[in-house]
Amino acid sequence: MNAVLKVYKWELLKLRAQKRTYLGLGAAVLVPIAFVVALSLQKGGPNDIPLGRYIRDTGLALPFVVLFFMSFWAFPLITALVAGDVVASESHNNTLKTILTRSRDRGQVFAGKALAALTYTVLVVVAMATVGLIAASIKWGFKPLTSLSGTKVAAGQGVVLLVASLAVYVLPLAGIACFGLLLSTVTRNSAASVVGTLMFALLMQLIGALPGTEPIRPYLLSTQFSAWHGFLRTPADWEPVIRAFWVCALYVAAPLAGAYLVFLRRDVAGE
Amino acid sequence: MTDEHPVSGRGLVKRYGEIVAVDHVDLTVEAGDVFGYLGPNGAGKTTSLRMMLGLIRPTEGYVRLFGLDPLVDGARALDGVAGFVEGPAFYPYLSGRRNLQLLADYDGGAARARIDEVLDLVELCDRAKDKVGGYSHGMRQRLGIAASLLRAPRLLLLDEPTTGLDPAGMRDMRALVKRLAGEGITVLLSSHLLSEVEELCNRVAIIRSGRIVFSGPLADLMATAGTGYRMRTTDLARANAVCLAHAGIQDVSSDDGELRFSADEDAVAGLSIALAEAGVGIVALLPESASLEELFLGLTEGDEPPAPEPSLAEAAA
């Protein structure tokens, strides 16, 4: 375990030293600020999306609204930016041979990389929500939130709901991250992995939007991005939340296992 | 039987589809060797080294390092082993020191405590803070050696360590390899430079189109060339007649008052006695070894790899 933690630590330090890390993180932080600025300058609002109507009532509503908007391609892209690169960049720099000829087994190296990619995914979502909450609260105040059922939720309770919502929201992103990790491992090409991962996320949405796909919609990765709605109902609706857990577990496990096996067995030759 | 040789490869084959990159290579490196793995570019040297380090899977055969197989025993098989293939590679966006810190953490143990020492050894202390992206080829090569020494290796596997270096860099790198070998580290270095192998190595294997065409002590390789001699005597005509009549003396020719012939050492010893008995005095008798380069070219050029001669096969065994 210590060995995996050492690898994980260095994966995070490597992310800290790379520009693309800040590209994604910067975007995640700028989007909620842009929302606050735009809504301050205009009268209209995103009235037809969950909690959009209450966005000027309390700073608590904004992070939820941005979660909705960023689920289409922004968060999938930011996630793919790092997850799709985390193994492929080693191929690009030819450094896989450097780290695989030390005293860490391939499985440990892979585990450290997967953990780092997932950490980044969690980090960008938390960063967006935190910045959004602070910026919007400065503008509109930290007041009680109106739930999706129309009931008032105290501001403190609203924060708890936000944290719970973020926890469920990162599950489908973890699925996307693991798909990115698989492409990164298999293609050894960063650009192909990032684009491929985004295509995968968009394809899920496309399938969900096609007529006649209703029976499979609950099991699509894209559907799980709205599982947090369950928390904002009174009483809480646990069904979408529980489904998000097991559906995303499958979307995480399958590509992760595939990537692991490929990484374990692959030939590290001139790339 | 336990096989604790620093390197022992048996029946190594690596195929990429139709292409056979390495074809039934047997290789043994003994403790204390500076082993030269010699061959033209594309002969399969790097592929062999990759298999030794567990980076690629042999299609057939196996490699053991101090008795452990990297594919079976994982990173444990690389305990006490360090090196690089196809030039060392680092994270360009991290400094030299950060790269070494990363690798030291991958190594565990006391590797971190050695960072300053190895940077000093390869004379990179004053550039250690700079990003590797700005390093010259020679500096990366030196950082590669530093990264290897962090592991306090008993076996160093170096893939063409002097390639791309300027003459001074080559000289320094060779001096470093000599020094490390002098400290008791077993070294396997691949090279396509004969002079390098001649200068550094006590044993060599020559690979050509994926096959080993010679393996053994460097001295044996030189001996297999069949040594030629030049001789000046007090009586050219009689000496010529004695040579022609003596068993084991071949290719006799006379040129500019000298006799030239090829023979093994026993035959030459016999010849000197025969000449004395015939009343011919020897003024000069000089062995003329074929250069390593001639041997190398003989072994590695031509359409088909030559079948190993009995003496070569013996040396390989």
* Lowest model confidence (mean pLDDT) among A49-58, A152-161, A223-232: A49-58
Q: Is residue B263 part of a domain?
A: yes
Residue B229's pLDDT band (cuts 50, 70, 90) = confident
The pLDDT value given to residue B240: 92
Quick one: B30 and B162 in the same domain? yes
Query: Are B175 and B284 contained in the same domain?
Result: no
Percentage of residues of chain A with pLDDT beyond 90:
93
The residue type of A91 is S
Q: Of B46, B88, B103, which is closest to A102 when you measure between CB atoms?
A: B103
**Element spanning A7, H or E:** helix A2-16
Provide DSSP, chain B.
-----SEEEEEEEEEETTEEEEEEEEEEE-TT-EEEEE--TTSSHHHHHHHHTTSS--SEEEEEBTTB-HHHHGGGGGTTEEEESSS----TTSBHHHHHHHHHHHH-TTGGGGHHHHHHHTT-GGGTTSBGGG--HHHHHHHHHHHHHTT--SEEEEESTTTT--HHHHHHHHHHHHHHHHTT-EEEEEES-HHHHHHH-SEEEEEETTEEEEEEEHHHHHHHT--EEEEEES-HHHHHHHHHHSTT-EEEEEETTEEEEE--HHHHHHHHHHHHHTTPPEEEEEEEPPPHHHHHHHHH-SSSPPPPPHHHHHHH-
Cβ pair A97:B83 closer than 8 A: no
Same domain? B119 vs B66:
yes
Is there a single domain that holds both residue B153 and residue B59? yes
Q: Is residue B185 part of a domain?
A: yes
Chain A residue with CA closest to B79: the answer is A103
B140 CB within 8 Å of a chain A CB: no
Same domain, B283 and B146: no
Q: How far is A182 from chain B (nearest CA, A)?
A: 20
* Contacting residues of B for A94, CB less than 8 Å apart: 86, 89
How deeply is A157 buried, as exposed, middle or buried, from its count of CB atoms within 10 A (0-12, 13-18, 19+)? middle
Within a domain: residue B313?
Answer: no
Instruction: Give the burial class of B3: count Cβ atoms within 10 A of its Cβ; 0-12 exposed, 13-18 middle, 19 or more buried.
Output: exposed
Asked, for residue B305, whether it belongs to a domain, the answer is no
Residues B115 and B182 in one domain: yes
Residue A125's nearest CA partner among A84, A161, A159, A76 is A76
The verdict on B106 touching A (C-beta cutoff 8 Å) is yes
CA distances, A166 to each of A81, A117, A124, B200, B260 (Å): 20, 17, 11, 62, 90
Nearest chain B residue to A12, by CA: B102
Using an 8 Å CB-CB cutoff, list chain A residues near B85.
97
Q: For position B268, which CATH number holds? A: 3.30.70.100
| Residue B317 pLDDT exceeds 80 | no
**Helix pair A155-187, A74-83: axis angle to 10 deg:** 50
pTM: 0.86
Q: What phi-psi label fits residue B74: left (phi over 0), alpha (psi between -120 and 50 degrees) or beta?
A: left
Of B55, B56, B106, nearest to A102 by CB-CB distance is B106
Question: Which residues, including other chains, have CB under 8 Å from residue A235's CB and lie 6 or more apart?
Answer: none
Say if residue B155 is in the same domain as residue B259.
Answer: no
Whether B310 is in a domain gets the answer no
- Per the listing, tokens 């390899």 go with B177
Residue type, A133: L
Residues B18 and B75 in one domain: yes
Residue B252 inside a domain? The answer is: yes
What DSSP letter does each residue of B239-274 carry, written as one string?
HHHHHHHSTT-EEEEEETTEEEEE--HHHHHHHHHH
Contact of A179 with A251, CB cutoff 8 Å: yes
Best mutation target among B59, B102, B143 (most A Cβ atoms within 10 Å) is B102
Chain A residues with CB-CB distance to B53 below 8 A: 97, 101
User: CB-based contact (8 Å) between B147 and chain A?
Assistant: yes
Average pLDDT over residues A161-173: 97
Distances (CA, A) of B209 to A123, A253, B9, B85: 52, 43, 17, 19
Are residues B266 and B175 both part of a single domain? no
Confidence of residue B315 (pLDDT cuts 50, 70, 90): very low
Residue at which a domain ends, from B170, B185, B217: B217
pLDDT at B305 over 60: no
Interface contact flag, B103 A99, Cβ < 8 Å: yes
Q: Is the ipTM of this complex over 0.85?
A: yes
Task: Kindly state whether residues B93 and B114 are assigned to the same domain.
Answer: yes
Question: Which residue do the tokens 């491992």 mark?
Answer: A185
The gap between the terminal CA atoms of chain B, to the nearest Å, is 17
Q: In what order do the strands lie in the sheet with B7-16?
A: B19-29, B7-16, B60-64
State the CATH number of the domain containing residue B183.
3.40.50.300
Please answer whether residues B261 and B267 qualify as being in contact, where contact means their C-beta atoms are separated by less than 8 angstroms: no
Contacts of B74 in chain A (CB under 8 A): 105-106
Q: State how many domains chain B has.
A: 2
Inspect the interface and report whether the beta carbons of A17 and B56 lie closer than 8 Å: no
* B212 and B263 share one domain: no
The verdict on A6 touching B (C-beta cutoff 8 Å) is yes
Taking contacts as CB-CB distances below 8 angstroms, the residues of chain A near B102 are 10, 13-14, 99
Instruction: State which of B166, B183, B217 marks the end of a domain.
Output: B217
Domain that holds residue B141: 7-217
pLDDT in tens, B97-153: 999 999 999 998 889 999 999 999 999 999 999 999 999 999 999 999 999 999 999
**In this predicted structure, what is the pLDDT of residue B165?**
85
Indicate which of A14, A16, A101, A104 best probes the interface with B, i.e. most B CBs within 10 Å of its own CB.
A101
| Cα dihedral B139, B144, B146, B147 sign | positive
Q: Tens digits of per-residue pLDDT, B34-60?
A: 999 998 888 899 999 999 999 999 999
Q: Rounded to a whole number, what is the distance in Å from the CA of B305 to chain A's nearest CA?
A: 25
Residue in chain A lying closest to B107 (CA): A103
**A155-187 and A61-70 helices cross at what angle (nearest 10)?**
20
How many CB pairs below 8 Å do chains A and B form together? 89
Give yes or no: residues B207 and B235 share one domain. no
Q: Is residue B300 part of a domain?
A: no
pLDDT of residue B313: 39
pLDDT category at B287 given cuts 50, 70, 90 is confident
What distance in Å separates the CA atoms of residue A148 and residue A162, rounded to the nearest whole number?
A: 13
Task: Please report whether residue B192 resides in a domain.
Answer: yes
- Name the average pLDDT for chain A: 95
Query: Region B295-301: what's the mean pLDDT?
Result: 76
A3 and B CB contact within 8 Å: yes
Helix (H) or strand (E) holding A152: strand A152-153
How many other C-beta atoms are found inside a 10 Å radius of the C-beta of residue A123? 18
Chain A, 136-155: which have a CB under 8 Å from a chain B CB?
none
